[in-house]
Structure 1
Amino acid sequence: MGSYTRIENALRDGLLSFPVTDMDENGQFNAKTFTDRLESFVSYGVSSVFVAGGTGEFFSLSREEYKQIVEITAKTINGRIPTVSSVGRSIPEAIEFAKMAEVAGIDALLLMPPYLTECAKSGVMEYAKAIMQNTKLPVIYYNRANGILSAEQIQKLADACPNFIALKDGTGNMEEINTTIKTIGDRLVYIGGVPTAEIISEAYLSIGVNTYSSAVFNFVPKLAVHFYKSLRAGDKEKVNLIIKEFFIPFIQLRSKRQGYAVSLIKAGTTLIGESAGNVRFPLEMPSEDEVAELQRIIDKAEELIN
């Protein structure tokens, strides 16, 4: 377990960054701009970088694209901060992707929910266990969508898999996540993982969830870092102001269409001159009016920092 200390410490404290996956004008993976994005992320002092995640359109990536992403990430980051990549889909694919990440030099894995429409919770637990027991890397389980496990099931999974190191909450159900934390204790690290997690970051912090995944970091990195530091410093006035003036308008815009938690992030990268291209279908890019509204929100972010 000692070999997991560095990644566990990074997950316990510090802003977690989730870069988009860059595409060119033809919708193909853009290695050059993705590499530049990783360098930019590191320069802001994030505690770790999660590639090919939900914001990174994991389920839309080919095997070869995933391989390129983990190789580029490991080479570019070069041990400066811990790196995490996603696995999931079918059990054989998850094990294959985990092996690619391991060979590339990725530090840990984020296990996504299975993509079946419906499945029994007991089956989800066995799914997760099979994947965790077939990789040497530490694993963060993403408790979300059709992969939500109870505190009891998470405890069983932790008992069966020593490399299960962290739980990323994608439910926002504070009662359930608090029950899980109080049941399992510090056996696991707990991470906030709802879309635009900043909106409930205060509630997370109150029960011991010290950090969360920040997607907006992709297009307002200074604000994302400023908000996180204000949160951890207990600056309630600043936290309330940023939530009111930035995050609530952003969430209202995000709520206009399913999938905008990713699509708006990519649109934001274009607006700040660091385009990552468009999302892949079935996701859709926002309309011109929505992009204009996003620009107004970004302008407000600049005011809030200054």
Structure 2
Amino acid sequence: MIDLKGLSAFPVTPSDRNGRVDVGALRALVSPLLAAGVDSVGLLGSTGSYPYFTREERRRAVETVVDQAAGRTPILVGVGALRTDDAVTLARDAGAAGAAAGLLAPVSYTPLTDEEVFEHFVTVVRESGLLICIYDNPGTTHFCFTPNLIARLSRVEGIIALKSPAPDASAVAGHLKVLQEVVPSGFSLGYSGDWNCLDALLAGGETWYSVLGGIFPNTCMALVRSVQSGDTAEARRLNDSLQPIWHLFKAFSSLRVIYAIAKLKGLCAAEPPRPILPLSADAEKRVFETLASLELV
């Protein structure tokens, strides 16, 4: 069973204008993550633009990265879809390709009720046989998981973890405490939202689901290992050094910034899937100047 703790690094999924995954560029993006020893790779998450790809391209991306990882690093794969049967199919594809677990968001057009989301998750885990991490991402799904719903889902066999957006420092400890009180022992509680994740980790969050980790894995691993070893001062120093990146993420969105960084680093020249536009020349210049002032690996 996958143990979702530590750093889960989320790379972009480079593709052409027709939505065909650039396998070579994807390998180039994932290779440094594996070399850095990240605890898991989060493929086809929101940073990986999972809703924008066909079933065939998603399957090709998963097969590529699972083959590249060769069993050394667990691969967590986004399997969200509007329809339950499509999510089941995507989860089956991911499992057949060798993914360790699926990351399932309650993607919706019509607003969903708690009971509908519960049935959606139960059906996907039961019919696919793939371990599932709950993906709480209300900024895109417009669905907010209540502690009661998380408590119910955490007791479903095969649902093993929760990825939550990290609240700010004043709220994260209370948020985590509420969750810890309702889930069983061994159920992993982790956070995304890079600029708030240090405080989430220091409060006891077990996993950092990281956008920046998908492009600068060594820096992010150093931060996580500092927390795990109890070196809070070093963890805070590292996080403070990343504030210019966090400002860029907040100003332009982490997705657009990471595509610009990947281009500036020469890892890939892909643009985000349309209708998302790449950064303007002025914004990209700001990213370049920020990177030049930092020492990130």
Q: TM-score, normalised by structure 2?
A: 0.89
CA 1:218/1:152 → structure 2, altered by over 3 Å: closer, same or farther? closer
Q: Is the 8 A contact 1:216 1:265 kept in 2?
A: yes
Alignment partner of 2:238 out of 239, 242, 246: 242
Q: 1:151 aligns with which of 131, 147, 153?
A: 147
Distance 1:31 1:180 in 2: 38
2:12 to 8, 13, 20: 20
Letter in 2 for 1:107: A
Greater mean alpha carbon deviation, residues 84-93 or residues 273-282? 273-282
Q: 1:75 aligns with which of 37, 43, 67?
A: 67
- Offset at 1:271? 0.8
Q: CA RMSD of the aligned region, Å?
A: 2.1
Once the 2 structures are TM-superposed, how far is the Cα of residue 44 of structure 1 from its aligned partner?
0.7
Deviation of 1:191 (Å): 1.2
2:289 equivalent in structure 1: 296
Structure 1: state its 5+ residue gaps.
Answer: none
Offset, 1:290: 1.2
In structure 1, the residue corresponding to 2:127 is in which secondary structure? coil
> Could you say if the C-alpha distance between residues 150 and 132 of structure 1 is closer, same or farther in structure 2, counting changes exceeding 3 Å?
same
CA contact (8 A) 1:253 1:290 kept: no
Quote the offset at 1:97 in angstroms: 0.5
Q: Which amino acid aligns with 1:250?
A: I
User: Aligned residue for 1:225?
Assistant: 221
Distance 1:37 1:202, change over 3 A: closer
1:255 and 2:238 are equivalent in the alignment: no
Partner in structure 1 of residue 126 of structure 2? 133
Q: Which moved more, 1:219-228 or 1:124-133?
A: 219-228
Paired letter, 2:158: N
Tell me: CA distance 1:191–1:276, structure 2 relative to 1, closer, same or farther (3 Å): farther
Query: What letter is aligned with 1:189?
Result: S
Q: For residues 267 and 27 of structure 1, do their structure 2 counterparts lie closer, same or farther at Cα, with a shift above 3 Å needed?
A: farther
Instruction: Report which stretch shifted further, 48-57 or 16-25.
Output: 16-25
Counterparts of 2:206 and 2:53 in 1: how far apart (Å)? 30
The amino acid of 1:142's aligned partner reads Y
- The C-alpha deviation readout for 1:142-200, integer Å capped at 9, x for no partner, is 122133222221121223x210011111252623332011222424111112x32xx32
Distance 1:266 1:31 in 2: 16
Q: Which residue of 2 aligns with 1:164?
A: 159
1:60 paired to 2:52: yes
Give the unaligned 5+ runs of structure 2.
Answer: none
Q: Which amino acid aligns with 2:249?
A: R
Count of matched residue pairs = 289
Displacement of 1:19: 1.4
Residue identity over aligned pairs, in percent, reads 24
Maintained 8 Å contact 2:111/2:143: no
Letter in 2 for 1:150: T
Shift of 1:54: 0.9
Give the TM-score, by structure 1 length. Answer: 0.86
8 Å Cα contact 1:169-1:192 kept in structure 2 = yes
Which residue identity is paired with 1:140? C
Aligned to 1:147, the other structure's residue is in SS state coil
State whether structure 2 residue 37 is matched by structure 1 residue 45: yes
